[in-house]
Structure 1
Amino acid sequence: MPIPRFRVPTGILLALFAVTSAQAAPTQTDAPSTAGSKPNIVVILADDLGNADLGYRGSDIQTPNIDALAQEGVRLENFHGEPVCTPARAALMTGRYPMRQGLQTLVIFPNHRYGLPTDERTLPQALKDAGYATYMVGKWHLGHADQKFWPQNRGFDHFYGNTVGEVDYFTHKRSGILDWQRNGEFIDEEGYYLDLIGDEAVKLIEHQDKDQPFLLYFASLAPHAPYQAPKAMEDRYAATIADPTRRTYAAMITSLDDQVGRIVDTLDKRGLRENTLIVFSSDNGGPRSAVVASGAHSPEERAASGVKQESLPASNGELRGGKGSLHEGGVRVPTIVNWPGKLQPRVVDEPLHMVDIMPTALALAGAPANPTDKPLDGVDLWATLATGQGSTHDDILVNVEAFRGAVIKGKWKLVKIALLPGKTELFDLSTDPGEKNNVAEQNPEVVRDLERRLIAYARQQKPSEWMKAQPDYLGAQGQTLFDPDFDIDDGGMPHLKPALPQP
């Protein structure tokens, strides 16, 4: 599938390069230790999952295993990922906002050379220091062009899956190039993506030493495009869903649910379930624009099913926007934390963020604190999970780029678009989670406070690696318009170089 080429206005890029890279130093709170041995930690991450597309959230899509985790665990109803894949995964793996690594903008394309900076301490690295075995299966998307970015070189003892973004679910190729490996050895094998990573996860748990705690990061590609599923799975919805694209999408989510069930069953059979914390979440909301999702069925396939109008299959319910957006439909993701005997069923409406998973896991594992030069933005959520107490976040950065950003403090959310003519939106999420009513004019003091916080974060961001890479794609016939390895003069402006002459 061809990779989209984006044209970024030069004004955006200039604004980015005027930003400084100072580092903030938020305080990490200490989590209460739990009784008994260190828990096993299983993180299950869906990809592009619509907020309303699980059974327990009212969907007609069948997800009995995920529903059971929700009914028996803690449902985080105000949990935030990032607008797209790479930033969300950076937040999960580091406990730090992706703008601190220059990963705040869009995703790593197959042509890109950058990845998660190697001086960042990752969740698996930290847990290895605490004696954990660390395993990953599925989609990485934090760097592929250099082996130093690969999961097995970022703290995972074992990796099986793909390093780029999307691949074909059956061939495991992207644009004809195989992206499927086990610990650095590329494998051309048959099988449906979810079945294969499910098989691998089960084998890892079956062979795990019961006396050693482990981290399993199960990073599903589903239900990310291209929309593909085995016919037998699609047939489950033949009588209930007419739209062929949504039927496939539903089958993909149910396939993911089947693998969740297999993981839980294997933990049970090995007697590990009572000492295993399971986190289920998604990187971002479901796509509501064809710009960020492809692979829908053809007009001919839709017509054969009696469906005339093309539509994207994901649903974010009442939430505004979708993947790529700073509004809640793009960043609020269904999240469950389940640990039998340690966490009682409850619903938490406290604003939380993907960066909170790492500090919570480290506190439970007794892992060493992060270096002082890489302070965590996330906070330990154990008290919130166990008792419903409010988190210690003063505010939560949804994301910030040179041209837009969003921040949450309590019930208030500010969305700021810096491109002229600009836009400032303020929402009371406690009464308006769908972000239908902009109340900025009625609450000028709140706007000023949140703008001050957002600008403070903006001053801390590193230059976007995505935008630094894009000169190769900008301009007439892809000519470089400026030098990405800029330096800032005394006036705060980047040195530009003229466009290359026409060939």
Structure 2
Amino acid sequence: MINSLRKNTYFLLFLTVFIGCKTVNKYTEINEEKPNIILFMLDDMGWQDTSVPFWKEKTAFNSRYHTPNMERLACQGMKFTQAYATPVCTPTRVSLISGMNAARHKVTNWTFKRDISMVTPPKGLKMPLWNLNGAQPTDTVPRSVHITPLPQLLKNNGYETIHVGKAHFGAIGTPSADPKTLGFNVNIGGHAAGQPGSYYGTDDFRSLNSQTTIWDVPGLEKYHGKDIFLTEALTKEAITAIDNSIAIDKPFYLYMSHYAVHTPIQGDSRFEQKYMDQGLHPTEAKYASLIEGMDKSLGDLMNHLEDKGIAENTIILFMSDNGGLSAVARGGEKHTHNKPLSSGKGSVHEGGIREPMLVKWPGITKENSISNDFVIIEDFFPTILELAKIDGYKTVQTVDGKSFTPILKGEKQDNTDRTLIWHYPNNWGPTGPGIGATSTIRKGDWKLIYYHLDSSFELFNITADIGETTNLASKEGEKLHALAKELSTYLRSVDAQMPTNTNTNELVHLPDNEFVLKSYIK
């Protein structure tokens, strides 16, 4: 009897160890697989365009918008409160696929027609010969930056690379007008244009008031004439592309790049009426419906991952390409749609560059966690490659971005040591706070903006003054001098372009120039 019990005990111990070992081995196998990666990118979505609060408190805008799936993603992953892009779209998208800062890649404004700048220079400045043809996988296109694109590196390492929605990487008639030349196996709806002609399938996703077809969203003819919103059509196509990737047993990288919430501000009929019933300005009700339609897309993708049993091996990153539109086309008072942040799209004030960012890395990132660490758009390039377990890669370009995978693993970054740079020697068009030709640096609590037109400065303590209401340039000369020097040193190191002052016919001085600084240094 004792021997029998002893044998049973040994068997149970062996079984426990055996099962435990098998579990560890299976876990190791799972983690040795390349994860699926979804980058869910929005166009012109502001830091406040969500029911997820990215500040220390919930605001009126957080109460206005309804984004339950962003809330769901935030609960399952990490929320970044100080994530940054560039003031306008193409520079952000080029930084994303190249890992380069805009000062280095010199695609410093939005692109569209080959060899043509789409914006008139402001009075007093002549724009530099910036790379208006965008990012290219070749060195044969003048006025462009030659890169080794992120999706190409992923494709080379076994990923099915899927592009859905807005591309806007290169001008019409250049190779990168087609995302497939940048390493995407699949392109759904992406071309050179930065906005749709229309969000309505009944309009064939084209502007009925335009004689040109250059804004038409390509490749969605199956939805033409149908009562379907563009956001929904793109989501359906993305889900099909995921299923095709599963069928060929390949990990996928899905760049889910919605045209929403860019103009034209058109109402999504699934959600618009409830915002009208709340008494919102009609334009704002349409805008809110664009946001909720985007959120439904996120939820549909997350549900599909769960239905297919691949949610635990799929990393989701959520980001916007610049701050929320506020200078034009909105209802209500200009420059107020991102408060407490100042200004919006086109501006280097926080409203134009600070973005809503979320990341879910199953089994790694702590659920419902928050990071206040600095992250900027070029960081996505090395981060995504690291998430995909790709190392030893080579690029023709110098990569400025810094991987934020340590942050995702719970390591704290020291913001006092991280320097962020923005360089915009161009003209967006509208006017407003922080809008114009500028060079900017953020380090620790402090942010310095240098305006090219009149060589003036704004200096803000962002931690104490998130709304950038008090310019401390005339009071904090020592801090201004230190930041101006660091900013100028970086701009020189990348041979950053400066505009020409048309009154003197000379290049605008860098911010550490003695003449520029003399009135600020006592």
TM tier, smaller: 0.7 to 0.9
Structure 2 unaligned regions, length at least 5: 1-29, 54-61, 117-131, 138-145, 427-436, 506-522
Q: How does 1:307-326 map to 2 (within 5 A)?
A: 310-311=332-333, 315-326=337-348
Say if 2:135 is the partner of 1:116. yes
2:492 and 2:63 mapped to 1: Cα distance? 41
Say if 2:49 is the partner of 1:53. yes
1:197 and 1:279 mapped to 2: Cα distance? 18
Q: Which residue of 2 aligns with 1:161?
A: 189
Deviates more, 1:377-386 or 1:246-255: 377-386
Shift of 1:82: 0.6
Q: Secondary structure at the match of 1:209?
A: helix
> What do the CA deviations read for 1:89-115 (whole angstroms, capped 9, x no partner)?
1111111112322211x3113464712
Q: Which residue of 1 aligns with 2:359?
A: 337
Contact preservation (8 Å) 2:77, 2:369: yes
Q: Which residue of 1 aligns with 2:143?
A: none
Which residue, 52, 71, 74 being the options, matches 2:75?
A: 71
Structure 1 unaligned regions, length at least 5: 1-33, 297-308, 469-473, 475-481, 483-503
Shift of 1:233: 2.2
Contact preservation (8 Å) 2:81, 2:357: yes
Contact preservation (8 Å) 2:336, 2:343: no
Q: How does 1:6-405 map to 2 (within 5 A)?
A: 35-57=31-53, 58-104=62-108, 106-110=109-113, 112=116, 114-118=133-137, 119-149=146-176, 150-163=178-191, 164-167=193-196, 168-170=198-200, 171-173=204-206, 175=210, 176-177=212-213, 179-182=216-219, 189-190=224-225, 191-209=228-246, 211-290=249-328, 294=329, 310-311=332-333, 315-344=337-366, 345-371=368-394, 373-390=396-413, 394-401=418-425, 403-405=437-439
Q: How does 1:439-478 map to 2 (within 5 A)?
A: 439-460=472-493
TM-score by length of 2: 0.74
Shift of 1:463: 7.3
Shift of 1:206: 2.0
Shift of 1:128: 1.3
Shift of 1:310: 5.0
Which protein has greater RCO, CA pairs closer than 8 Å, 6+ apart?
Answer: 1
State the percentage of identical aligned residues. 30
TM-score by length of 1: 0.77
> What do the CA deviations read for 1:293-319 (whole angstroms, capped 9, x no partner)?
x4x6xxxxxxxxxxxx75569821201
Q: How many equivalent pairs are there?
A: 416
Q: Which runs of 4+ in 1 moved over 3 A?
A: 109-113, 185-188, 309-314, 368-373, 391-394, 460-465
Shift of 1:400: 4.2
Contact preservation (8 Å) 1:79, 1:334: yes
> What do the CA deviations read for 1:25-50 (whole angstroms, capped 9, x no partner)?
xxxxxxxxx94322111001111112
2:457 and 2:155 mapped to 1: Cα distance? 44
> What do the CA deviations read for 1:403-448 (whole angstroms, capped 9, x no partner)?
421111122211111222x321222222222112222333323222
2:218 and 2:205 mapped to 1: Cα distance? 10
Contact preservation (8 Å) 2:147, 2:395: no
2:278 and 2:335 mapped to 1: Cα distance? 14
Tell me the C-alpha RMSD between the 2 structures: 2.7
Contact preservation (8 Å) 1:124, 1:156: yes
Alpha-carbon spacing, 1:229–1:461, altered in 2? closer, same or farther (3 Å): farther
Alpha-carbon spacing, 1:438–1:388, altered in 2? closer, same or farther (3 Å): farther
**Residue type of the partner of 1:155?**
G
1:222 and 1:390 mapped to 2: Cα distance? 32
Q: Which residue of 1 aligns with 2:458?
A: 425
Higher Rg = 2
Q: Secondary structure at the match of 1:424?
A: strand
Alpha-carbon spacing, 1:248–1:405, altered in 2? closer, same or farther (3 Å): same
Contact preservation (8 Å) 1:136, 1:159: yes
1:404 and 1:461 mapped to 2: Cα distance? 16
1:439 and 1:311 mapped to 2: Cα distance? 26
Q: Which residue of 2 aligns with 1:30?
A: none
Alpha-carbon spacing, 1:173–1:453, altered in 2? closer, same or farther (3 Å): farther
Alpha-carbon spacing, 1:208–1:371, altered in 2? closer, same or farther (3 Å): closer
**Residue type of the partner of 2:112?**
F
Q: Secondary structure at the match of 1:333?
A: strand
Contact preservation (8 Å) 2:79, 2:358: yes
2:458 and 2:438 mapped to 1: Cα distance? 11
Say if 2:440 is the partner of 1:406. yes
**Residue type of the partner of 1:68?**
R
Contact preservation (8 Å) 2:324, 2:338: yes
